[in-house]
Amino acid sequence: MNNKRIIPTEVGIACGYAVFTVDDMELERVRERADEEMYQRKKEMKM
């Protein structure tokens, strides 16, 4: 839709990921790391 100029605004997507390692005890902590990375990228996009 944005290529057709229907939406008169710029669109961006921030994503983050984390790899589960042998040191990880909880999957939730891995998700939290991915979430932190996503918010860092989102912050960088606004600069």
Residue positions counted in the chain: 47
Give pTM, 2 decimals. Answer: 0.68
User: Using an 8 Å Cβ cutoff, are 14 and 41 in contact?
Assistant: yes
Between CA 37 and CA 28 the distance in angstroms is 14
- Write the pLDDT tens digit of every residue in 14-43: 999 999 999 889 999 999 999 999 999 999
Query: CA 27, 19, 32, 22 torsion: positive or negative?
Result: positive
CB-count exposure of residue 37 (10 Å: 0-12, 13-18, 19+) = middle
Q: What is the average pLDDT across 6-19?
A: 84
